[in-house]
Amino acid sequence: MRKINPNNFHVATRGTSREINRQIALNLVRTHQPISRADLARIMGVRRGAVSLIVNDLLAEGLIFEGATGESHRGRKPTFLYIDSRERCVVAVDIRVTRTSLMVTDLIGRQLVATSGFPTDRDPKRLVAELSKRIKKVLSEHKEVGECKGVGVVVPGMVDRATSRVIHAPTLGWRDVEIRESLASATGLPVHVENSGKACALAQIWAARGDAAATGDVVFVSVSDGIGVGIVVNGEILRGRHNIAGEFGHVPLSIDGPRCPCGATGCWEAYISNLATLSRYFGRNLREAKPAAAEVTTFTIEDLIVRARAGDAKAVAAIEATARYLGLGLASIVNAVDPARIYIGGEIIAAWDLIEPDVRAALAERALSPDAAKTEIRVVSLEDQPRLRGAAALVTAPAFAAPPIA
């Protein structure tokens, strides 16, 4: 049960039930499109007349449109309803340590233009200048995508929810960095900034199709340059007082462990990030600024997986150790949150068939109950682009969100 906050509440009005039903109808159209008014009424369990009133309001607001007609054995042919994303788009941006990527989607997250990218400049001002130039370029070269409704940006760090300033992005070396206002000023577009782990979780709960969308309490763990974690409880991203809830990447596995980019020692991230895995393979801390052979500087986690599959004992040992540490960290999440499902993404997932047994064994070792040890784990491929799709959801999802009640 949820307690009503006596200091922050929304009083129900005569239109409250209509507002709720409107949002339900809008989301059902989004999930099931194309869908007829009759089918919408059947799913909602209300009279067709009541649905028509809601649909007419949504049509008038330009949120949905009527498209093709279907077949009918008797009576008038049904007209199908769709979310109106025609000639309207969103730009999604994923800032990572080495590369920044851009994608253009429609209002339900369908990709409209091929993904592009460029090397990330660690200087925020230069990065924003290059990013704004590329956003303008892709929109001018693809006028068919229509009006841009906003830009969603995800970063590998903690973001202040009120100001959108990047509080701390360890892998980028950023502290208290402003990018939203400067990017909005340079592009003339609304800009939304969020942590990449939370964005990946958003991508799952706002998947366009009902059979793909996450339900229940779920967690997304992104294993890449750093570790991003997003937690969804009762359909909402868990944020905490300072929007840093879910930073399991910086929960220590050992206080005597390797140094993390955040400055602490023994963080989960320091054991399972891509660089941590590669450091384990080469037998040296690759974060240290020492001269390195070309093979070391250009070697990737994908190369390591190839060697592991070819039987390289050192490569196998490196990813097996990462798998064990991954499972131990997942056990902390399971014990703390008890989610219905965990999604895992990142480059290491290309070796999931090799690492899953070790991940599961480590999870079972630390889980507090046998059922918790069996928590469902689903891998999300890089091709699904959860970070970019989460960035797009920052702009599009608010229109579909449930209204605040009480």
Reported as type and span, the H/E element at residue 168 is: strand 166-169
End-to-end CA distance of the chain: 13
Residue environment code for 168-179, b if the CB has 16+ CB neighbours within 10 A, otherwise e: bbbbbebeebbb
3-state DSSP assignment of residue 78: coil
- pLDDT tens digits for range 139-197: 999 999 999 999 999 999 999 999 999 999 999 999 999 999 999 999 999 999 999 99
For domain 88-203+388-400, give the CATH number.
3.30.420.40
Q: Which stretch of DSSP H or E encloses residue 17? A: helix 16-32
Would you list the domain boundaries of the chain?
16-83, 88-203+388-400, 207-382
Question: Model's pTM, two decimal places?
Answer: 0.89
Instruction: Tell me if the domain spanning 207-382 has CATH number 3.40.50.970.
Output: no
Per-residue pLDDT tens digits for 80-94? 999 998 899 999 999
Confidence of residue 266 (pLDDT cuts 50, 70, 90): very high
CA 24 to chain centre: 23
Fold of 16-83: Arc Repressor Mutant, subunit A (1.10.10)
Greatest alpha-carbon pair distance for the chain in Å reads: 77
In angstroms, the CA 239 to CA 159 distance is 10
pLDDT bracket for residue 211 (50, 70, 90): very low
Domains 88-203+388-400 and 207-382 equal at CATH topology level: yes
Task: Please state, for a pLDDT cut of 90, what percent of the chain lies above it.
Answer: 73
Angle at 149 between CA 147 and CA 152, to 5 degrees: 130
> Cα-flanking dihedrals φ and ψ of residue 129, to 5°?
-60, -45
3-class DSSP assignment, residue 180: helix
Write out pLDDT tens, residues 127-153. 999 999 999 999 999 999 999 999 999
Rounded to whole angstroms, the Cα distance separating 133 from 128 reads 8
Amino acid at the residue 174: W
